[in-house]
């Protein structure tokens, strides 16, 4: 028995496909078909043969089942491979996203690797310092990195004084740092000339030889910021300044705004005075780190990955700062101030003595001249009387 299905035309079936079936199929006329189903009884057993044009040959029903099973296996293997490839691509995307997210927002010069994310900055040619990117980097580390970048020709940085305050007149130098990022009390900038610094790394003594005694690191407990801003469209509400500045400092520098104690405003000079204080015995809060970040971004470019500068909003107006001056007040007065005061007093005394001496000389010559003049007059009178 022969049954056929409709489809593409077939001229004749191949004769060399299967010997027992060929004689029965040899005279099949040309008819449209895609496959032929042949059933033949031989020895009480019925065999099925299927001719499929696409394969150009016969397959028994058993072979067909085997082929179907193999096809399903191949399909499952292909499906499994696709799933595996998709999983690999997804994993690579996750790793790429993690690597992209691994950055230190508080230090733009940091190099980060991961996962797990670990960021470092170079302190010297051979030393990379791990960072805690959830906080501001220590000022000592930042200065050291800046000096290293300068040596390589890379990019770096370019209202009133408190009674005991002093400014950093020395600028940036290559500091010696403790392992936790604090400044060492004695700094020499790789020279034979050394001096003592406070916790902000600012010199507080005269420069001397390498044997200078810096027995402890004196804490800076008060920083005064003098911020000068660009012209504004309208007046600034002084009552809003303190809260606006405190909120902006806390948001940008992750710094407790309650440490912003007093704010004064000179509208004519376009200057804002900000006093930031902590307890004198506190060695945990780093006022200098925050001040250094702010000073650097106002004078040149931010240390953050985000290059938008510190510009608080006050009453709907943005304060764009054009300059900053930082005064440091230590728990103990700086020693160089006393030396300079003594020198000033000596100079003043010398000036006074010179003025007194000049006055005495002038008085002496004036008296001598008057005395000579009186003597001449007396002689003339005596001659007239004769």
pLDDT in tens, 286-302: 999 999 999 999 999 99
pLDDT grade for 367, boundaries at 50, 70 and 90: confident
Q: With pLDDT > 90 as the criterion, what percentage of the chain qualifies?
A: 47
196 vs 26, higher pLDDT: 196
What pLDDT was estimated at residue 60? 52
Contacts (Cβ under 8 Å, ≥6 apart) of 361: none
351 vs 282, higher pLDDT: 282
Nearest alpha carbon to residue 34 among 14, 7, 55, 59:
7
**Inter-CA distances, 212 with 89, 131, 196, Å:** 62, 32, 8
Residue 24: pLDDT over 60 = no
The mean pLDDT value of the chain amounts to 78
197 vs 149, higher pLDDT: 197
What pLDDT was estimated at residue 350? 82
Residue 179: pLDDT over 50 = yes
Angle between helix 287-299 and helix 238-253 axes, rounded to 10 deg: 100
**Residue with the two structure tokens 């995307």:** 93
What distance in Å separates the CA atoms of residue 224 and residue 329, rounded to the nearest whole number? 8
What distance in Å separates the CA atoms of residue 118 and residue 130, rounded to the nearest whole number? 7
Beta bridge partners of 225: 274, 326
Token output for 228: 């000068």
Residue 36: pLDDT over 50 = no
174 vs 34, higher pLDDT: 174
What pLDDT was estimated at residue 380? 66
What pLDDT was estimated at residue 33? 44
What distance in Å separates the CA atoms of residue 76 and residue 117, rounded to the nearest whole number? 39
Q: How confident is the model over 136-151, as pLDDT tens digits?
A: 999 999 999 999 988 8
Distance spanning both ends of the chain, measured CA to CA: 188
What pLDDT was estimated at residue 251? 95
238 vs 284, higher pLDDT: 284
350 vs 282, higher pLDDT: 282
What pLDDT was estimated at residue 58? 47
Give the other-Cβ count within 10 Å of 261's Cβ: 13
68 vs 142, higher pLDDT: 142
Q: What integer is the mean pLDDT of 106-115?
A: 88
User: What are the sequence ranges of the domains in the chain?
Assistant: 2-66, 149-335
pLDDT grade for 239, boundaries at 50, 70 and 90: confident
3-state secondary structure at position 312: coil
Residue 213: pLDDT over 60 = yes
Q: What integer is the mean pLDDT of 176-180?
A: 96
pLDDT grade for 115, boundaries at 50, 70 and 90: confident
pLDDT grade for 238, boundaries at 50, 70 and 90: confident
Mean pLDDT lowest among 128-132, 141-145, 211-215, 377-381: 377-381
What pLDDT was estimated at residue 336? 65
Residue 21: pLDDT over 90 = no
Residue 77: pLDDT over 60 = no
Mean pLDDT lowest among 227-236, 340-349, 368-377: 340-349
pLDDT grade for 215, boundaries at 50, 70 and 90: very high
154 vs 18, higher pLDDT: 154
Q: Pseudo-torsion of CA 314, 318, 324, 330, nearest 10°? A: 30
Beta bridge partners of 38: 2, 49
């Amino acid at each position: 028995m022969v049954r056929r299905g409709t489809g593409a035309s077939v001229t004749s079936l191949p004769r060399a496909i299967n010997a027992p079936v060929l004689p029965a199929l040899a005279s099949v006329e040309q008819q449209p078909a895609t496959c032929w189903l042949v059933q033949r009884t031989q020895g009480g057993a019925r065999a099925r043969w299927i001719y499929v044009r696409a394969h150009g040959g016969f397959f028994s029903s058993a072979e067909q089942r085997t082929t179907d099973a193999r096809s399903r296996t191949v399909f499952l293997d292909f499906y499994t491979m696709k799933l595996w490839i998709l999983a690999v691509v997804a994993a690579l995307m996750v790793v790429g996203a993690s690597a992209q997210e691994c950055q230190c927002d508080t230090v733009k010069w940091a190099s980060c690797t991961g996962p797990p994310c670990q960021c470092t900055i170079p302190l010297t040619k051979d030393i990379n310092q791990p960072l805690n990117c959830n906080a501001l980097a220590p000022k000592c580390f930042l200065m050291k990195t800046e000096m290293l970048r300068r040596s390589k020709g890379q990019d770096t940085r370019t209202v009133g004084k408190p009674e005991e305050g002093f400014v950093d007149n020395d600028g940036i130098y290559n500091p010696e740092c403790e392992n936790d990022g604090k400044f060492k009390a004695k700094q020499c900038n790789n020279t034979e000339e050394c001096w003592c610094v406070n916790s902000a790394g600012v010199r507080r003594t005269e420069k001397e030889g390498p044997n200078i005694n810096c027995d402890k690191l004196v804490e800076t407990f008060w920083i005064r910021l003098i911020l000068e801003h660009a012209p504004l469209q309208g007046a600034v509400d002084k009552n809003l300044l303190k809260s606006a500045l405190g909120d902006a400092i806390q948001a940008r520098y992750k710094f407790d705004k309650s440490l912003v104690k007093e704010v004064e405003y000179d509208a004519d000079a376009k200057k804002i005075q900000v006093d930031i204080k902590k307890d004198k015995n506190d060695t945990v809060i780093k006022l200098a780190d925050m001040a250094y970040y702010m000073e650097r971004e106002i004078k040149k470019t931010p240390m953050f990955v985000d290059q938008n500068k510190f510009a608080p909003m006050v009453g709907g107006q943005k304060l764009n700062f054009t300059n900053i001056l930082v005064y440091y007040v230590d728990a103990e007065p700086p020693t160089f101030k006393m030396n300079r005061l003594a020198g000033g007093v000596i100079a003043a005394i010398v000036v006074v003595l010179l003025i007194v001496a000049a006055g005495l000389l002038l008085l002496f010559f004036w008296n001598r001249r008057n005395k000579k003049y009186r003597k001449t007059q007396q002689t003339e009178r005596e001659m007239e009387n004769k």
